Amino acid sequence: MLNKALQKPQKAGQHFHQHYKGLLVLIDKYMTIEKSQFFFEKVQKFEVAEVFHAKLLEAICNNIFKSDVNNKTIYNIVLTFVHIQMILFKRNNPSRRRQFKTKKYSLNILEKVILKAADEDLTNISQNETIKLYIKLCLKFGISGEPTLLKILANLVNILAKSMDKEDGRLILEMMLSHSEFLNYVLGEHSDIKLGILSLFLVLCKNWSEFMERNHIPVLLAAYRSMVNRCDRIILSMLKLYEAKAGQTSFYDFKPYLWGKSAASHYSVRLNIETALWRQPKMGDVLDILQDEFVLLTIKNYPLKEKLQLAESEVFEIAEEKVQLLAPEQQVQTYKFTRSGALSLTVVGLSSSDIEVRQAACHVLSRFNYHMDARQSGKDNLLWLRYVEAVCKGWIEDRVTLMGLLRSMAFKLFSELYSSSIIRLGHKVARF
């Protein structure tokens, strides 16, 4: 009776739909691995996709995964569950909750088998026309509002990349970029769909670096929010990839780098960016992005143990951006650098437990010192020069002691108080 229900779920009685959980226990305890593997001796094509059936198949697959899985079994399992997904894509089920559950369970198995097959030769899967159609449908419905499909698609493409034709990968990228909802989600705030799109984008760039183009950079900068979330971490990782291929992507044409809504507006992301590049961003344009609340929250929640070497770290992004703003060839308005909170973010970097973060902060301060020294006027020049010199000498030690930790806490508090006073002063000047 169980075999009949597995082979022809459309003819299964109502007790299977309502009481399938007991069958899951029986499969787990009494169905041998050999019998489980025998069920997937071939690709199974079913006429319907039901919740109970997807759960029973999941239990059988879990049995199979208890031992080594050969290439043929992997192929049959993947194609079987892809066919179930295809039924769900084509069917307009009046019970959307039931359809969602069926899709969720079948996607769980697909994800497991894809990860299990990481070291296998999957050429037979990547060249299968049903798989190619499935990838297109996952992309279409995923960006339209089903982030789970984007997650499974990113995993699938990453595993199949070694055996997938380059043109198939390029087609996925072009379809993603041309989707009507692509910019709406990517330029929006953090969401599961934005995370799924960026994850797939990163997978494509890592496996086919030749796909990276100059026109992608403004979109990534505009999508960035300078927050510690998974979306922004992926964007930072991608920007590092684009910088590594600067000759191909013209990465440095966009310096100094704007981000967020300012970048979307400046680079005319929804239009043509060619004319926008003639309007070189100025230091003030970048510093204007730093809002008072952002500066204070960053200082309060500064990741003291974060290492500079993490490419996806916000610490890395803040340090690198300020180094570029204070490059010797830049015309720097030092008062704007201090009043915007950029100097406060530099000072709090000196409280980090990582020596490279402290050295990066000192490097920023040395460039700030260079521009202060070059100023011909200003009553406070000497004060700033002595301040920078004293701070850098006191915070270059590569040791974390109890006294060092106390100094870190005191310095972080000083940065917060200093930033607050500067912000209040700025508001008074503005009102005046």
Domain boundary among 249, 279, 309: 279
Chain mean pLDDT for the chain: 76
- How confident is the model at residue 262, as a pLDDT? 79
Do both 310 and 431 map to the same domain? Answer: yes
- How confident is the model at residue 121, as a pLDDT? 77
Question: Which one of 131-145, 190-204, 248-262 scores highest in mean pLDDT?
Answer: 190-204
State which residues form the domain around 253.
212-279
CA distances from 303 to 289, 350, 351 (A): 21, 12, 10
- Which residue intervals of 10-128 are DSSP H helices? 14-18, 20-30, 33-39, 51-64, 71-90, 96-116, 123-126
Segment 269-278, tens digit of pLDDT: 665 544 444 4
- How confident is the model at residue 430, as a pLDDT? 34
Do both 239 and 260 map to the same domain? Answer: yes
Average of per-residue pLDDT across 295-315:
64
- How confident is the model at residue 425, as a pLDDT? 42
CA distances from 286 to 20, 111, 370 (A): 59, 41, 20
Do both 288 and 427 map to the same domain? Answer: yes
Of residues 270 and 74, the one with the higher pLDDT is 74
Average of per-residue pLDDT across 142-159:
88
Cβ contacts of 220 within 8 Å, gap of 6 or more: 235, 238, 239, 242
Residue 55 within any structural domain of the chain: no
Domain boundary among 279, 296, 318: 279
Q: How far apart are CA 356 and CA 349, in angstroms?
A: 10
Do both 338 and 373 map to the same domain? Answer: yes
Segment 408-430, tens digit of pLDDT: 444 544 554 455 444 444 443 33
pLDDT at 134 over 50: yes
Read off the pLDDT band of 149 (50, 70, 90).
confident
Segment 323-366, tens digit of pLDDT: 566 666 566 667 777 777 777 777 777 777 777 777 777 778 77
Average of per-residue pLDDT across 363-370:
77
Do both 350 and 254 map to the same domain? Answer: no
Average of per-residue pLDDT across 256-279:
66
Do both 227 and 314 map to the same domain? Answer: no
- How confident is the model at residue 219, as a pLDDT? 92
Domain boundary among 263, 279, 295: 279
